[in-house]
Amino acid sequence: MDGSRENLLHLYLHIDELEPRGGILELLRSIRPQWKPQDIHMKTFTEGLTNKLIGCFVGSLQENDCVLVRLYGRMTELYVNREREVQMFQVLHSYRCGPQIYCTFQNGICYEFVPGTVLDDTLVRQPPIYRLIAAEMGKIHCIRPEGGQGEPFIWTKMSHFLALLLKSRNISPVAQRRPDSWVAFPGVPSFGILSGEMETLKRHLSQIDSPVVLCHNDLLIKNIIYNHTDGMVKFIDYEYADYNYQAFDIGNHFNEFAGVEDINYSRYPGVELQRDWLTAYLESYKHSSGLEVRVTDAEVTRLYVQVCKFSLASNFFWGLWAIFQSRHSTIHFNFQRYATARLSYYFKKKEEYFGMNPKLDINSGV
């Protein structure tokens, strides 16, 4: 794969999460030696649920030379492949789809600030903007780095989360013989049920002919930056970027319409918005693949059905993630409520989406 750590600066520096300024100033002496410490401003961003992000700049935040310093969250090394994340930064930057990474350090990374407006619930529903998002995703899905196509990461990642959850419970030998006795907290299924659901998902979704492509895999609304001046969008944060099913990346993004802090699935995009979004996506995907840019209703319907099905995997995956976070994260966020919401919607839509096929009457609604 294009990109590696070989030519990337690594600083043997650990920045204190509670008192980060001193460590960040030491980092900036290496990558911005011309900056005077007394002139450096720092702004803490609070959008992330697992990391701390700090913007560093001289003058204005919106100036081109703002530097972002991200401190890794507690225990994120258990489930985030940091080598892979750096590779994704470098690959996406080389294709002009992502910011430049400046350096890594013991507990984080430092990279280029992407100027623009962070999207919100209103902006992401505006046709000119969501078509840009669809087109950008289509472009990224066509990136073919050296080394060939990888395996879809979703099943390995789900299995890893389940293993972490089982281990984190420190359950007794009796419970190990009876996995169904494992419960994370009220409202969440037992370990045995969750394990069985993953296998059911894998059997069903592995039979669907969704291409394996380079995916973002975590396209929260807040992970999209809209630059009004240039009329373009860029995606940020690549902790989960890897090869995965095309329809997962799209379905995952649609799930994020429901929100994070106050998750509400009534905000999930309707059929009309989805079809328009998918049309723009397919036009971009075909164009970037060198194919004829002609999209039929049948192609849109087929992808729509695939996306509905893979949106189940997205909800299940982040439900597992939230259960783990509820036990280990120091971030002030109601992970238990989030896990319950994601898994509840998974079970609510499972039968309906499993029963869908490409000949579905699209006007019947979701």
- The answer to which of 60-64, 172-176, 315-319 has the lowest mean pLDDT is 172-176
Per-residue pLDDT for 47 more than 70? no
Per-residue pLDDT for 2 more than 50? no
Per-residue confidence (pLDDT) for residue 3, from 0 to 100: 45
Pair 50, 98 in one domain: yes
Give mean pLDDT, residues 45-67. Answer: 78
Asked, for residue 245, whether it belongs to a domain, the answer is yes
Pair 59, 201 in one domain: no
Per-residue pLDDT for 33 more than 70? yes
Which of 69, 86, 112 lies at the terminal end of a domain, its last residue?
112
Sign of CA dihedral 321, 324, 329, 335: positive
Most confident of 42-51, 90-99, 300-309: 300-309
Asked, for residue 4, whether it belongs to a domain, the answer is no
Pair 194, 277 in one domain: yes
The first and second tokens of residue 206, run together, are: 């592995």
Q: Which of 242, 246, 240 is nearest to 208 (CA)?
A: 246
CATH classification at residue 202: 3.90.1200.10
Per-residue pLDDT for 171 more than 60? no
Please give the mean pLDDT across all residues of the chain: 88
Pair 90, 212 in one domain: no
Asked, for residue 302, whether it belongs to a domain, the answer is yes
What percentage of residues in the chain have a pLDDT greater than 70?
A: 88
Contacts of 224 (CB under 8 A, 6+ apart): 118, 119, 124, 133, 233, 234, 235, 236
Pair 178, 108 in one domain: no
Which of 112, 135, 165 lies at the terminal end of a domain, its last residue?
112
Which structural domain, as residue segments, surrounds residue 26? 20-112
Per-residue confidence (pLDDT) for residue 1, from 0 to 100: 47
Check residues 362 and 64 and name the one with the higher pLDDT.
64
Asked, for residue 334, whether it belongs to a domain, the answer is yes
Contacts of 311 (CB under 8 A, 6+ apart): 251, 252, 254, 255, 349, 353
The reported pTM is 0.90
Check residues 106 and 170 and name the one with the higher pLDDT.
106
Burial class (CB in 10 A: 0-12, 13-18, 19+), 228: exposed
Per-residue pLDDT for 55 more than 80? yes
Asked, for residue 81, whether it belongs to a domain, the answer is yes
- Give the total number of structural domains in the chain: 2
Q: Which of 39, 29, 37, 44 is nearest to 60 (CA)?
A: 39
What percentage of residues in the chain have a pLDDT greater than 90?
A: 71
The first and second tokens of residue 299, run together, are: 């192609």
Pair 219, 308 in one domain: yes
CATH classification at residue 39: 3.30.200.20
Asked, for residue 225, whether it belongs to a domain, the answer is yes
Pair 200, 84 in one domain: no
Pair 240, 278 in one domain: yes
Pair 128, 42 in one domain: no
Contacts of 230 (CB under 8 A, 6+ apart): none
Which of 79, 112, 145 lies at the terminal end of a domain, its last residue?
112
Asked, for residue 7, whether it belongs to a domain, the answer is no
- The answer to which of 181-190, 197-206, 278-287, 340-349 has the lowest mean pLDDT is 181-190
Contacts of 158 (CB under 8 A, 6+ apart): 198, 316, 317, 320
Asked, for residue 48, whether it belongs to a domain, the answer is yes
Per-residue pLDDT for 270 more than 90? yes
- The answer to which of 15-29, 70-84, 131-145 has the lowest mean pLDDT is 70-84
Pair 211, 304 in one domain: yes
Pair 99, 152 in one domain: no
Pair 88, 201 in one domain: no
Per-residue confidence (pLDDT) for residue 294, from 0 to 100: 93
Per-residue confidence (pLDDT) for residue 60, from 0 to 100: 73
Per-residue confidence (pLDDT) for residue 148, from 0 to 100: 62
